[in-house]
Amino acid sequence: MKKWTHPGGKLRELGAEALTDAELLSILISTGTKGKTAEEVAKEILNKFGSFKGMANQPLEKFLEFKGLGDVKIIRIAAAFEVARRIVKQVLKEKEDV
């Protein structure tokens, strides 16, 4: 089996639970900028907001402050958070119905 060094390969090889928050976020970001990997950009974002929870309710404009994030990458991140919100909402509804 191939030994992966980037987060996407690591996810494939070891599973999503084996990745750090920065590695997961870097998969959504996809590419970095000249001199900075997607994972380094992800670490900057997490350092600023503290966690995924800290990121979740930020206005999208806040993400434009990060070099390497444009509309497409920000929309991808926003969509991932909305998917997570909907999963949580569904789980909570199912618990209420029990």
Q: Which residues contact 48 (CB under 8 A, 6 or more apart)?
A: 66
Its domain, for residue 88, covers 7-96
For residue 52, give the CATH number of its domain: 1.10.150
What's the pLDDT tens digit per position in 3-38?
Answer: 667 899 999 999 999 999 999 999 999 999 999 999
In the structure, what pLDDT confidence band is assigned to residue 92 with cuts at 50, 70 and 90? very high
- The pTM (predicted TM-score) of the whole model is 0.88
- Among 10, 24, 17, 16, smallest CA distance to 1 is for 10
Q: Is there a domain that residue 69 lies in?
A: yes
Q: Is there a domain that residue 1 lies in?
A: no
Domain count, the chain: 1
What's the pLDDT tens digit per position in 57-73?
Answer: 899 999 999 999 999 99
